[in-house]
Structure 1
Amino acid sequence: MPKIDKDAQVEVRLDSAAGLLEASLTDEQRRGLFEHPGMRVIAIVELASVQYTGHADGEDKAPQVKLRIKLAEAAQDHDQARLVLEVMRAMMRRRKMNGTLDEIGPGTRDAEHAVAAALAAHPTEGEFEEHTERDAARRRRGSRIEQHG
């Protein structure tokens, strides 16, 4: 990978492949986005750089990096949206405290606390695995009953 000057402003472009984001939206959200221009959906995404463009020394163009959505989850209701927005505000407050953001919003100043509080009502990975195992066992029992019936 090429190295660029530490003060260079890198332009970020979003790759057009948004299938993962589309898959995380409900049918109602998709229709709403189409029918109501300006409607917003709150989502958490994981981005990966997939392409970069550098320029020769002396060129008056900023280096560019293209990002692709690798994982995406959209808030499915107002409570989830509120929690994600609180985490976002906490992260923005951290940037403000670090001097990388000009405005600060209301609420707590601890991003880790806000994340823990936001996730407290959501299942852990272990709880999800237990649910998956119980669901699979229930389906196995159901298929055995159907076979014997």
Structure 2
Amino acid sequence: MTAIKIDGKPAVAAGYALERYGAQLYARPGMRIVGVVELRHVERTQPAPDEDKEASVKLRITGLEIAGPEQEDAIRQAQEALYRHRTAYGTLGEDGEIALSEQTIKLTGGLLDAIEAARMRVAVAHWATAGRRALGVEQITTTEMRHELDAIVSGLESVLTPDAGGTDG
């Protein structure tokens, strides 16, 4: 796995966004602020093949805007939504039915868009795995590949229109 490192010094423009919070942060240890950040790849370390070291990528904060008190809730909600989308998990049954994990359901908090985003992520992950599995067969015939691809397309279509019928799973 590639290690991710954050460059210790933000870009000048990002530093300006933090300037006005310096005194508050110093006065209140443990204080939290929320914002929107942009990271840029600035360095890559690639160890020699025979070295027992981890490859790494260094990122620098190039853009940063800190939310004011009236904006913090909106930024935290966006952060929570991104987290829900990234961590959605569940299973896709042979009948095409998507079952979200209990943790994913808990994180959605009954939000319809969050439930749908989680459902879509689970389905796409399932069908991407099916595609990778088909690509991994070394001596697959054109007919067999067409059959696998047809199953994947049918499965994806059933996710978009769940009432249209089952899939090959």
* 1:97 maps onto 2:83 in alignment: no
Unaligned runs of 5+ in 1: 1-8, 112-149
Give 2:4's aligned residue.
12
For residue 37 of structure 1, give the secondary structure of its aligned residue in structure 2: coil
Q: CA deviation at 1:25?
A: 3.1
Task: Give CA deviations for 1:52-93 in whole Å, capped at 9, x if unaligned.
Answer: 10111132211111101121101122x211100100000100
* 1:24 maps onto 2:17 in alignment: yes
CA distance in 2, matches of 1:67, 1:109: 35
Give 1:134's aligned residue.
none
Q: Is the 8 A contact 1:20 1:69 kept in 2?
A: no
Over aligned residue pairs, what C-alpha RMSD do you find? 2.2
Give the AA of the match of 2:16: A
Deviant stretches of 4+, over 6 Å: none
Quick one: which of 64, 85, 97 aligns to 2:76?
85
Give 1:75's aligned residue.
67
Give 2:50's aligned residue.
58
Give 2:32's aligned residue.
40
TM-score, normalization: structure 2? 0.51
TM-score, normalization: structure 1? 0.57
Task: Give CA deviations for 1:5-38 in whole Å, capped at 9, x if unaligned.
Answer: xxxx1111111222333311363x2211111111
Gap change, CA 1:90 and 1:13, over 3 Å in 2: same
Q: Is the 8 A contact 1:93 1:109 kept in 2?
A: no
Q: Is the 8 A contact 1:90 1:110 kept in 2?
A: no
Q: Is the 8 A contact 1:25 1:74 kept in 2?
A: yes
CA distance in 1, matches of 2:108, 2:36: 21
